[in-house]
Amino acid sequence: MILNQNNMEITKDNVREIIENYLKELKIRYNIEDSDSKGCVYELFISSTSGFIQVEYNLDDEKDNHVVLQLFSKIDNYGDSFFHQDWDNECEHCDSIEGEIDNLVEHVKKLNQAIAKILTKINQIKDICEEYELDFEEFIQLNYDFDE
């Protein structure tokens, strides 16, 4: 049995309330998608890159109180992710649900910082290409080994 930070047992009946209250506490805007009796998906609007929490449970079976979360940051439309963490309310060694959300939020914030720095470098390369009248798209496809 896993408890949240307020020592409440996490069940399929209260998991959404616990997640939503914690996101509100963190002042993170979110949208709920694909909500049905098997779960839902939260999209967390943290910055330019979103984080996601997929909640899975079975409301149709009264005896089944199993809850599984998948926390991830999607980087493209194909489902690839830089961060993916599973959480299970029956797992004895899992962190608190709030701790897992904190890990996701921290990862997405760092990812956004990295993307901003990379974008700055790409814009610098574009400027250099323009200065030397090089086609940027052809330039970035060169098979030149810059490590030498």
More confident residue, 47 or 109: 109
| Chain segment 87-135, per-residue pLDDT in tens | 998 887 778 899 999 999 999 999 999 989 988 998 998 999 999 998 8
| Chain segment 69-87, per-residue pLDDT in tens | 999 997 666 667 788 999 9
pTM of the model: 0.80
Calculate the CA 129 to chain-centre distance.
Answer: 35
Show Cβ contacts of residue 39 under 8 Å, excluding neighbours closer than 6 positions. 54, 55, 56, 57
Q: Is 70 exceeded by the pLDDT of residue 58?
A: yes
DSSP state of 87: E
